[in-house]
């Protein structure tokens, strides 16, 4: 499980990335195998994002998510 201070920003980065790709959140949830209700709670920040869920989302080819960019965006900028 990611700590609560980084969790919200990771969830927000994922949500923003999915929207920028033009992929409906429902489709992203289905393709990742995360239950829809759980997915929406994670995306709105009301539930804690687990590391295994980040992994599932990064495996969805259409999303083109990079776990390093999600978890350590400041390190990659330098």
User: What is the pTM (predicted TM-score) of this model?
Assistant: 0.79
Total residue count of the chain as it appears in this document: 78
Q: If you average pLDDT over residues 71-75, what whole number do you get?
A: 74
Nearest CA among 47, 20, 18 for reference residue 35: 47
Quick: pLDDT tens for 15-64.
999 999 999 999 999 999 999 999 999 999 899 889 899 999 999 999 99
- Residue linked to tokens 């923003």: 16
Burial of 54 (0-12, 13-18, 19+ CB in 10 A): buried
């Amino acid at each position: 499980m990611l700590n609560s201070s980084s969790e919200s920003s990771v969830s927000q980065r994922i949500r923003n990335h999915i929207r920028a790709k033009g992929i409906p959140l429902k489709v992203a949830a289905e393709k990742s195998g995360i239950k829809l209700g759980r997915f929406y709670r994670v995306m709105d920040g009301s539930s804690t994002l687990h590391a295994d869920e980040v992994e599932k989302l990064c495996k969805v080819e259409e999303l083109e998510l990079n776990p390093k960019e999600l978890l350590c965006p400041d390190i990659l900028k330098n």
